[in-house]
Structure 1
Amino acid sequence: MDKPRVAFIHDYLVQYGGAEKTLEIMSDIFPEAEIFTGIYKPALLSEKLNSKKIISPGTSLLSKWPKYFTFLMPLYFENFDLRNYDLIISSGNAWAKGVLTKPTQLHISYVHTPPRFLYKYSVESTNRNNWYYKPFVSFIDTSLRVWDYISAQRPDFLLTNSHETSKRIQKFYRREAAVIYPPVDVEAKSAAELDNLRAPFYLAAGRLAAYKNFDLIIQAFNLLGLQLEIIGTGKEEAKLKKMAKDNIKFLGQASDDVKFQKMNECLGFIFPVEEEDFGIVPIEAMSQGKPVLAHRSGGVLESVRDGIDGMFFDKVTLEDFVSKMKEFDDNIKKGVYNSNSIKDHVQKYSVSRFKKEFEAFVANKWNQFLSEQK
């Protein structure tokens, strides 16, 4: 395709999670592109992502205290100066899609999810539920939902990470979004030797936040006495450690090498999150041939084949989870799940596949755009 001048827009660069890894892979396709973002914290990102040209407000009030100035974010993103670019690719769940473009520019937006906090999905912060916040939050959220709908009409084309999220986009924005699954490192190799007979354990990983339901699995493993190891840190860490008995081990923040080593060694992976937009970590575990026990909701329904790659629990209750965990453990002991079949299944989420599909989509829309401009 003719080489356009490209700019990426991303909500915040304050962690190195799935959305940021997706942005990193996208930007590999357009290595000369600049990245605009609301908040930039280089210490929390990869060296590769930091090597890109990143434009952010620096020392503004928005970057210092974003949660207190959320209502100003639309104005900030609408004021990005994008006049010198032909192709705008936005990425995020809240603000990036709302940038202002001209008819002579093509805007493609990869929406990871409509903002969870605006549409009553569980979020990490619990302060929004405090009585003294609620009157302000209710007023601001109503205004932001109006802006969110309007801003979602601005991109020429929408992409998203799962059919689950595509349904949300249709529900809240009345727009179609093509699905391109995000890139997952399914080809990662662990240096560890399989050693399940010596130290059998189950693994969970993620931010230790209230909505992630780690308290549920800790209560269950306390009762069952099975070995559990947990990768991750977060606001709930101290509370969860107090709950846990000796059969539960907290590994803290782990490198990718350690994470994949543990995934390689474990008996199975536990994913108790409700309504997850996509769910990269379970796929990483499956890339090591390990079955997954997950809540029956969200994007994980697209990646885990019930009875083949693992199984689901239906209710976020101790009774239901313990019952399904016993069944899951029994299935593993019986050899119900085939490691090679699980590994083969998740190859469709590879980085190379994402690059190919994303580049083809952008090229098609860009060529279509050029023909319409003539």
Structure 2
Amino acid sequence: MRVAIVHYWLVSMRGGEKVIEALCDLYPEADIFTLVYDPGRVSDTIKKHKVTSSFLQRIPGAIGHYQSLLPLMPFALESLDLSGYDLIISSESGPAKGIIPPPHAAHICYCHSPMRYLWDHYHAYRSSAGLLSRMMMPVLAPMLRTWDVNTSMRVDRFVANSHHVAARISKYYRRPATVVYPPVSTEDFAPSTQIEDFYLCAGQIVPYKRIDLAVEAFTKMGKNLVVIGDGKEQDIARLKRMAGPTVTFLGRAPFAVLKEKLARCRALVFPGEEDFGIVPVEAMASGRPVIAFGAGGALETVVPNLTGMLFEQQSVDALIKAIYAFEAREDAFRPDVIRAHTAQFSIRKFKAGMQTVIDDELRLRRALPFGDGKLSIGGFQMREPESATPLH
């Protein structure tokens, strides 16, 4: 069986690339296809595989400015030749599912999120974009949305990284999705006996993560906050202008520093709405509680009063109230209980869940007439119902 793994772009090692690593472990002989590829910024696990990039790779500056090439991405994805592959696993967020699968192949899409900048975050992205992008987005977005919805029909089985994302797949694509939580290297983190007097915000500094709420809240309270993460200069500069003396910015810190800060903080503060949110799981694997905005993936990873606390409104006042409520019962949080909770988000759990989905899809295709797992009735393709049961 020839296996192809399709990822939107390979230019860094973040949550999506960790999924690719785990899929590479499942299929050591798989070939990888992507829009643009920077081998110097990905892991050895990925580099061991044959990686084919699209024609975007040949555009000067594409690796550094790939996101500005969004209008060309549909053409680039459809130019990738996947003929001869029996199993195609696309890693969707950027996009990736829009490849043209051969008729006999099973196409399984692991969806981190329907493209945010086309759907639920469209207006936020447009408002923060440059003048040219703000002018072009209303023209291009409708066409790209149509392409995005149409290409969802090229997928045989959707897998979502959370129930939150599964609901959005249902909303935008009208397709069910099996939930398999993404792989988190929980074994790389451990509790510390030395807890220091600071709270932590960690992750890429982009507007939708709402790190500004934490900076403003901790400045107002006069409590210590450490911010780890990189982003656009203007976003970081804006946060620094509003920050008081108790807020420290460490920038893009090495993993050893991140690991230490996660293990020694009083709690991780997570004020944004994420599709899943890997950093909160890493904090809990370090035995530390999470104070998160109660929406998105946090509702599936943070257990109130056991592994952390949730606040209901995305506002400075709501966050301050949550911080004081946490401190009133801070001693009740047990690091061993918090860490044990993260076992369900391990790499092993992800691999087992994905293998179950893939085996089920391949079995279905072998069992049904015409060899491709689909029944054609009156011009419509009929399939067995897809499971919406989480595999974790």
Normalised to the residue count of structure 2, the TM-score between the two structures is 0.88
The residue aligned with 1:359 is: 355
Q: 1:356 to 1:209 in 2, by over 3 A?
A: same
Q: Could you tell me which amino acid in structure 2 is paired with residue 254 of structure 1?
A: A
In the TM superposition, residue 124 of structure 1 has moved relative to its aligned partner by 8.6
The residue aligned with 1:134 is: 134
The residue aligned with 2:178 is: 178
Q: Which runs of 5+ in 2 are unaligned?
A: 373-392
The residue aligned with 2:12 is: 15
The residue aligned with 2:306 is: 308
The residue aligned with 2:376 is: none
The residue aligned with 2:244 is: 245
Query: Which is further off, 337-346 or 172-181?
Result: 337-346
Question: Does residue 344 of structure 1 match 2:340?
Answer: yes
Question: Conserved in 1, the CA contact under 8 Å of 2:82 and 2:102?
Answer: no
Moved over 6 A (4+): none
Cα shift readout 1:38-59 (whole Å, capped 9, x = no counterpart): 0112232223222322111332
- Distance in structure 1 (CA, Å) of the matches to 2:41 and 2:89: 23
Cα shift readout 1:122-178 (whole Å, capped 9, x = no counterpart): 799566655654342112000011111001111111111000000000010000010
In the TM superposition, residue 245 of structure 1 has moved relative to its aligned partner by 2.3
Q: Could you tell me which amino acid in structure 2 is paired with residue 280 of structure 1?
A: I
Question: Conserved in 2, the CA contact under 8 Å of 1:122 and 1:211?
Answer: no
Question: Does residue 233 of structure 1 match 2:230?
Answer: yes
Q: Could you tell me which amino acid in structure 2 is paired with residue 362 of structure 1?
A: I
Question: Conserved in 2, the CA contact under 8 Å of 1:123 and 1:211?
Answer: no
The residue aligned with 2:47 is: 50
Q: 1:162 to 1:324 in 2, by over 3 A?
A: same
3-state SS of the aligned residue for 1:97? coil
3-state SS of the aligned residue for 1:306? coil
Q: 1:245 to 1:9 in 2, by over 3 A?
A: same
Question: Conserved in 1, the CA contact under 8 Å of 2:85 and 2:102?
Answer: no
Q: Percent identity?
A: 35
The residue aligned with 1:37 is: 34
Aligned-CA RMSD value: 2.0
Normalised to the residue count of structure 1, the TM-score between the two structures is 0.92
3-state SS of the aligned residue for 1:117? coil
Q: Could you tell me which amino acid in structure 1 is paired with residue 249 of structure 2?
A: F
Aligned length: 365
Q: Which runs of 5+ in 1 are unaligned?
A: none
Question: Conserved in 2, the CA contact under 8 Å of 1:185 and 1:350?
Answer: yes
Q: Could you tell me which amino acid in structure 2 is paired with residue 363 of structure 1?
A: D
Equivalent positions of 1:186-205 (< 5 A) are 186-190=186-190, 193-196=192-195, 199-205=196-202
The residue aligned with 1:144 is: 144
Q: Could you tell me which amino acid in structure 2 is paired with residue 31 of structure 1?
A: P
Q: 1:135 to 1:124 in 2, by over 3 A?
A: closer
In the TM superposition, residue 68 of structure 1 has moved relative to its aligned partner by 3.7
- Distance in structure 1 (CA, Å) of the matches to 2:124 and 2:263: 29
Q: 1:189 to 1:294 in 2, by over 3 A?
A: closer
Q: Could you tell me which amino acid in structure 2 is paired with residue 328 of structure 1?
A: F
- Distance in structure 2 (CA, Å) of the matches to 1:135 and 1:241: 29
